[in-house]
Structure 1
Amino acid sequence: MNKSFLQDILKRINEHNEGSITEDLCFHFSQTPDNEQCGETVSIMGYKNPYTRKNVYGLRTKNYPLTDIAYALENEESDVYKAMKQALPRLTQKEWYAFTRLITLICCDLEKETD
């Protein structure tokens, strides 16, 4: 049985296999311009977690760990939430919070401490 995208990414993180995730995205999904751009922008790399101050391997862009972006997204009063309400008028704050919390937790789970 083939591993999922997240399983493959987690394996690379645990092995400290730094670099682009483009190949992983295109293998598990499709080789489209948006997947390629995502893979070129998000990489596996080592960095210091700004909250725990511990060295970790995880997913990040040139400027931010994905955990930082996810935490910022959780603010339901943000312009992002307002835009989502326009696209999905029945989206409740409870649903928005559940979605953003899950995304944050997934990003946190993909972040692994180094020795």
Structure 2
Amino acid sequence: MSTRDAFINELIAIAHGKSGDPQFKRALVEFGSETPDNLNSIEQLELDPARSALVLRRHGIPISDLLHAAEDSDVPPSVREAFPLVTQAEWDAAMRLVTLILIALEPKR
């Protein structure tokens, strides 16, 4: 099984409440590699077993809630620089999609 498939399977397991934090973090690093950004991510995030939701480790804030709050934000300068043709409506649509994907991973919603 590829690392991509293993990561997808782990996300599906989260959606069904059948994953644990160590398995998720291992799958994330194996799929994304051990870059500083990915290693930092696994330190900042965790899978909350009570909610079976991906949350900020220090605060317990679900990542889906965080991104939901960010949905109305302006296109960040770094995105505008990399993709100057992206409109605000397109950015809003992309943020909404990611938010919905994260919500779909939370079985207790």
Normalization by structure 1: what TM-score?
0.72
Name the counterpart of 2:47. Answer: 44
Letter in structure 2 aligned against 1:32: T
CA contact (8 A) 1:22 1:36 kept: no
In the alignment, the residues of structure 2 paired with residue 46 and residue 97 of structure 1 have an alpha-carbon distance, to the nearest angstrom, of 30
**Equivalent residues, number:** 103
Unaligned runs of 5+ in 2: none
Aligned to 1:112, the other structure's residue is in SS state coil
1:46/1:32 CA distance change after superposition, 3 Å: same
Q: C-alpha root-mean-square deviation of aligned residues, in Å?
A: 2.4
Aligned to 2:52, the other structure's residue is in SS state strand
Percent of matched pairs sharing the same residue: 28
Name the counterpart of 1:66. Answer: 63
In the alignment, the residues of structure 2 paired with residue 32 and residue 85 of structure 1 have an alpha-carbon distance, to the nearest angstrom, of 24
Aligned to 1:43, the other structure's residue is in SS state strand
In the alignment, the residues of structure 1 paired with residue 46 and residue 36 of structure 2 have an alpha-carbon distance, to the nearest angstrom, of 17
Cα deviation, residue 22, structure 1: 2.8
Aligned to 2:66, the other structure's residue is in SS state helix
1:102/1:4 CA distance change after superposition, 3 Å: farther
Letter in structure 1 aligned against 2:9: Q
Quick check: which one's helix share is greater? 2
Cα deviation, residue 86, structure 1: 4.5
Unaligned runs of 5+ in 1: 48-55
1:15/1:67 CA distance change after superposition, 3 Å: closer
Normalization by structure 2: what TM-score?
0.76
